[in-house]
């Protein structure tokens, strides 16, 4: 290599630029610590709400939250995967469903895209998502939110589901949302994580491990009967994989709300509104059965259904 000062400076600048584009790895005192099982929470949670992954379909969760708020169901543990972790983090911090709905109009996924220099690892970098979550939560860590929160993700090396219960909330949500080929995987202390949908789209087991007495699960995966005749083989296989992962988790919940969404989804604000309304309608239809289950468990008084 030449010792010419200009060339040395040029190589130094190139090295710095490449270093700045290195795959993301978060290493700090508040690094989220990945657990393969959630430790029991004291005091034990009474009611847990488990929110599934599902991309834009997950905005149905907002409608479910709205109904639970209206009837006074006091959730003290939120478990979220992918989009469920994003919306669940804001709800765990005390935002109302109406406030989260307003945020979705101004801060939805289309506003959080930042292009990654590593196209083979995902075309969205994810820093903007991380910063958005941390700013929205006032930089509070997971364990300091008003409600207890568990964020589900996948360890990239072996596809094992992991859970974050403490540490930097934005980093945890970013890891939980790192869809392979779309959003770059997230390194935390040298270990890479990706979308929780890849291992456990609906993490009922985390709520059970935490000690929740009653688990309400919200599933936004398409039902087989909604599959259009022109759906591709890849689409059918992806839905089948998700259903296979979700089925044993659903069976372990006390109550499952399945949002009656159509098969196709879209990242446009109009779809977010449709998903939210559909989630609300689905929750209202199943509300009498939910309240009856809570009453049998001794967790709510008998009350009229709105």
**Residue 157 bears catalytic tag:** no
Please report where in the chains the tokens 């270990």 appear, as a residue: 191
Q: Give the integer Cα–Cα distance in Å for 301 and 295.
A: 6
Angle formed by the axes of helices 83-92 and 127-136, nearest 10°: 20
DSSP letters spanning 28-94: STTPPPEESSPPPPSSPPSEEEEE---GGGGGHHHHHHHHHHHHT----EEEEETHHHHHHHHHHTT
Catalytic residue among 82, 104, 116, 141: 82
User: 250 catalytic, yes or no?
Assistant: no
CA distance 142 to 79: 12
Choose the catalytic residue: 101, 195, 219, 254.
Answer: 195
Sign for the pseudo-dihedral over CA of 167, 169, 174, 177:
positive
User: DSSP letters along 217-247, please?
Assistant: EEE-PPPGGG--TT--HHHHHHHHHHHHHHH
86 by Cβ neighbours in 10 Å (0-12 / 13-18 / 19+) ranks as buried
- Record the tokens describing residue 149, joined without a space: 């929160």
Contact 140, 93 (CB under 8 A): yes
Identify whether the C-beta of residue 95 lies closer than 8 Å to the C-beta of residue 78: no
The residues carrying an active-site annotation are 82, 195
């Amino acid at each position: 290599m030449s010792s010419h000062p200009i060339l040395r400076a040029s190589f130094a600048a190139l090295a710095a630029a490449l270093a700045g584009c290195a795959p993301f790895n978060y290493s700090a005192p508040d690094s989220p610590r990945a657990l393969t099982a959630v430790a029991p929470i004291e005091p034990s949670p009474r009611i847990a709400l488990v929110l599934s992954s599902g991309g834009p379909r997950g905005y149905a969760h907002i409608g479910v939250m709205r109904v639970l708020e209206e009837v006074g169901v006091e959730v003290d543990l939120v478990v979220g995967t992918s989009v469920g972790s994003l919306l669940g983090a804001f709800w765990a911090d005390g935002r109302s469903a109406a406030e989260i709905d307003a945020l979705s109009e101004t801060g939805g996924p289309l506003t959080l895209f930042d292009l990654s220099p590593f196209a083979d690892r995902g075309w969205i970098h994810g820093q903007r998502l991380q910063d958005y979550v941390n700013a929205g939560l006032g930089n509070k860590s997971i364990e300091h939110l008003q409600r207890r929160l568990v964020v589900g993700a996948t360890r990239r090396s072996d596809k094992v589901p992991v859970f974050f219960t403490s540490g930097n909330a934005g980093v945890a949500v970013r890891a939980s949302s790192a869809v392979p080929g779309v959003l770059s995987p997230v390194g935390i202390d040298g270990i890479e994580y990706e979308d929780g949908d890849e291992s456990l789209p609906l993490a009922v087991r985390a709520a059970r491990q935490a000690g929740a007495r009653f688990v309400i699960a919200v599933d936004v995966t398409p039902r087989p009967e909604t599959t259009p005749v022109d759906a591709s083989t890849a689409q059918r296989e992806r839905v089948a994989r998700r259903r296979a992962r979700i089925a044993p988790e659903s069976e372990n919940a006390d109550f499952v709300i399945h949002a009656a969404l159509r098969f196709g989804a879209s990242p446009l604000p109009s779809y977010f509104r449709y998903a939210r309304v559909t989630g609300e309608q689905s929750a209202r239809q199943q509300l009498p059965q939910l309240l009856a289950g809570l009453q049998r468990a001794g967790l709510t008084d008998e009350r009229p259904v709105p």
